[in-house]
Each structure stands twice: as C-alpha cells, then as structure tokens.
Chains A and B, each alone.
Chain A
C-alpha cells in the first residue's frame, strides 16, 4: 500500500519528462536541422556561422537568422560573408522563409529545386556566386516573389517559362550567366528589359515587333508622316 504513491509519482515524473521532451522537439528544431545541414556544406573562413548551434531549441538566436513571432525562420542573411561550398535541398523546409540572402559569396553547385517549396518567399538573392546548372522551373511556384536576383553566376540552360506566372515579380536580374534560348516576354516579363538578361552570350533577346503605326479611321489629314 505504501509503494503505490511512490510508483505513481515515478510514473508521473516519467510522463512529465516525456511531455517536456515532446515540447522541445517542435518544428523550430527541424528548421535548425535544415540550417545546420547548410552549415555543414559550407566552408566559412570568416566564422560567420559560429553561433549556429544545433543543440539550441530553435535557430532563432543564431546570428544571421531571423524568426517570426511563431519562432519560425523568416530571414537568412548571409550576403558578402566569404562563404564557399554549396546550397542544400534542406533549405526547402523553411516554409515561412521570406528572405533568402546569400549573395556575394563563393558558393558553387546548383540551385536546389526544393527552393520551389518556399512559397512565402519574397526575395531570392543568390547573385554574385559561382552557381552552376539550371534555374529550376520549380521557382515558378514562388507566387509571392518580388526580387529574383541570380545575376553573376555560371547558370546554364534556358529561362523557365514558369517564372512569367509570378505576377508579383518586381526585380529580375539574370545577367552575367551562361543562359541560352529565348527570353520570354509574356506575363510578368513584359516589365523586364534587356538589362535583366545582359551578358548571356547565347541568350536570344527577341527583337521587338516593329509594327507600323496603325492608321486611325477616319482621320483628318495626318500631320505625322
């Protein structure tokens, strides 16, 4: 009879520990794992990732990482950080990410197609690196994207037409790459000029149609020749 209370209290203690453990492995940790996977693929001579400690509950206290009010990663700011190495598919797990700023580094390898899963993304800045391979057509899924700057890399292949469906796109820079094929002019791409596509020697920027000025009907004697 005396053993019962101590058994119950041991059981309650175990239960309490289990519950605590459950609460400590919320999604914040999965995002920390994803970012840590990035850290392991990068070489970081300036030690900018020194604070990226995967044993913390979530990555929100890491430098260069910003979280929203729900402790989910909204920004990664690693521009001009002298980083080498490659990007990782795990970045696609940061579902609330709005700003991915990894410009001005020495990053090589491809743009993971998993970045197409970042449907909250507003800014994708990978410019001034050494990225290779194609622009993934999955990026067409980023329907809130405003800034897409992939200029000054070594990207090849064609420009995915899916990008023309992103109506929010304000700034597009694909210049200084090795892209080829035709530049789309429909959809959101009507706002973009040859500046966005410059210095891609094999890229064909279509000549704008030189339609003759249609004659209005009926008109007074035209003063323009």
Chain B
C-alpha cells in the first residue's frame, strides 16, 4: 500500500512540475497558433509553422520567428514582411510576452489598431506595420509602449489626428506616418529628429518640420 501511494504522489508532483515549466513557453506557442489561425496565407509562407512537434525551441525554427535563445520557446521578433498575409492584427499577440520586434510590413492586413495596444505589445521596440490596409485612428495608448525606438505606419489608411501623447516616447528615433489620411499637429518628440518626409502624403499635417498649423481651429475636415 505505502509504496503504491508514494509512486502516485511522485507522479503527481512530476506532472505538476512539468506543467509549470511548460506553461511559460505554452503562451508563446498559443500566440503563434492564434496568429496563424487569424491570417489568410494564400502563398503558404506559414506552412513551416508545424505545431504538432513538441521539443523545446521548435518554434524558433519557424519562418519569420526569432527566439531569445535556442534553449526555449520565447519569441523575440516576428518578421513577416511581404508575405501576402491578410487579416486583422490578432490580439493574441499579447501571449508573445517577450516580443520586442514586430514587422508585418507589405502585407494585406486591415482593420484598426487595438485601443489598448500597449497591453498587446508592452515591450515592443520596433513596430513596422507599413504598407498594409490599416485604417482608423492611431491609438493614443501607443504612447504607453514606452520602449518604442522605431514606429513605421506609412502607406496605410490611418485617419484622424496623430495622438500628441506620442511625444512622450523618449526613445523614438524613427517615426513614419507618410501616405495616410492624417491631419492636425504632429507630436513633438523630445529626442527624435523626424523629417518632413515622414509626414508626407497626408491630409493636412502641420507643425514640427512641416509648415506651422493655422491659428483658428478647423474642426471639420473634408
């Protein structure tokens, strides 16, 4: 009797331990599974994303995925430019809790950016969503992605004003919103020298490197 109980206890403890250790990287696997599920992938670029195997570090070999190191499944960067992917930005990217780089440029992504984007991408340092079909406003909450160095949103259909709060981002050295439908004053970035080209091709951006904004408010825009 006693040895039987002991082995059950040991088995349970081992199971709990293995579940605990795998939980940390399960989230990244779920992040990528959800990403793949939310994308139309007509050119089958994501076919290498095979989730049926289980060894540690296997997602690190997926196309477009760079891990923190080869010993664990922690996603550092997702880089999938120009792959013909079509879909909305999946909120499950939040499960890639260690991700700092996201490049989905040159695809067919659409929809608006989540208003709580800093909860989805809290540690993002380089965000490139350029050359897609994103629309709507640039979320004010992007200003809470405090570690952003590079923001590339050019060649989309973003509209409205650029949230001036983005000037709070102290690490910005590149900020490009060219070729959208934005208007109004541009943010004042403390440490960035943003060129006029970064604002070109919009509906009436002003201030900063552009001509100054006109005095009386024009509340309505065409």
Determine whether B125 belongs to the interface, using a CB cutoff of 8 Å to chain A: yes
Asked whether A8 is an interface residue with its Cβ less than 8 Å from the other chain, the reply is: no
Known: A103-B71, A220-B217, A224-B140. A208 touches B170 (CB 8 A): yes
Q: A160 an interface residue at 8 Å Cβ cutoff?
A: no
The answer to whether residues A190 and B71 also contact, given A195-B123, A220-B218, A220-B219 and a CB cut-off of 8 A, is no
A217 to B212, CA, bound (A): 8
Contact partners of B3 in chain A: CB under 8 A: none
Contacts A128-B71, A220-B185 hold; do A210 and B168 have CB atoms under 8 A apart? yes
Point out which of A128, A171, A194, A213 has the most chain B C-beta atoms below 10 A from its C-beta. A213
Stretch of B22-30, B35-43, B110-118, B159-167 with 4 or more beta carbons under 8 angstroms from chain A: B159-167
Q: Across the interface, which residues of B come within 8 angstroms of A221, CB to CB?
A: 217, 219
State whether the Cβ of A79 lies closer than 8 Å to any Cβ in chain B: yes
Q: Mark A208-225, 1 if CB is under 8 A from B, else 0.
A: 111111111111111110
Residue of B70, B190, B215 with highest tally of chain A CB at under 10 A: B70
Residue numbers in B under 8 Å from A193 (CB-CB): 100, 123, 125, 147
| Chain A residues near B214 (CB-CB < 8 A) | 220
Interface string of B201-214 (1 = CB under 8 A from A): 00000011000111
> In the assembled complex, which residues on chain B have CB atoms less than 8 Å from the CB atom of A171?
68, 76
B164 touches A190 (CB 8 A): no
Q: Is A33 an interface residue (CB 8 A)?
A: no
Q: How far is the CA of A208 from the CA of B125 in the complex (A)?
A: 14
B146 contact from A104, A208, A217, A222, Cβ within 8 A: A208
In the complex, what's the smallest C-beta–C-beta distance from B165 to chain A, in angstroms?
A: 5
Q: Which chain B residues lie closer than 8 Å to A192 at the CB level?
A: 125
B186 at the interface (CB under 8 A from A): yes
Q: Tell me, yes or no, whether B216 is within 8 Å of chain A by CB.
A: yes
Min CB distance B52 to A, Å, is: 24
Give Cα A32 to B190, complex, Å. 52
A208 CA / B165 CA spacing, docked (Å): 14
With both beta carbons as reference points, the residue of chain B lying nearest to A223 in the complex is identified as B161
Does residue A80 face the partner (Cβ distance < 8 Å to B)? yes
* Nearest-CB residue, chain B, relative to A207: B146
Interface check B94, CB cutoff 8 A: no
Assuming the A-B contacts A149-B69, A223-B161, are A194 and B123 also in contact, with contact meaning beta carbons closer than 8 angstroms in the complex?
yes
Q: Give the 6 A-B residue pairs with the shortest CB-CB distance, closest first.
A: A220-B217, A221-B217, A216-B185, A214-B188, A193-B123, A208-B146
A-B contact pairs, 9 of them (CB 8 A): A125-B69, A128-B71, A173-B68, A191-B149, A212-B168, A218-B213, A219-B185, A221-B217, A221-B219
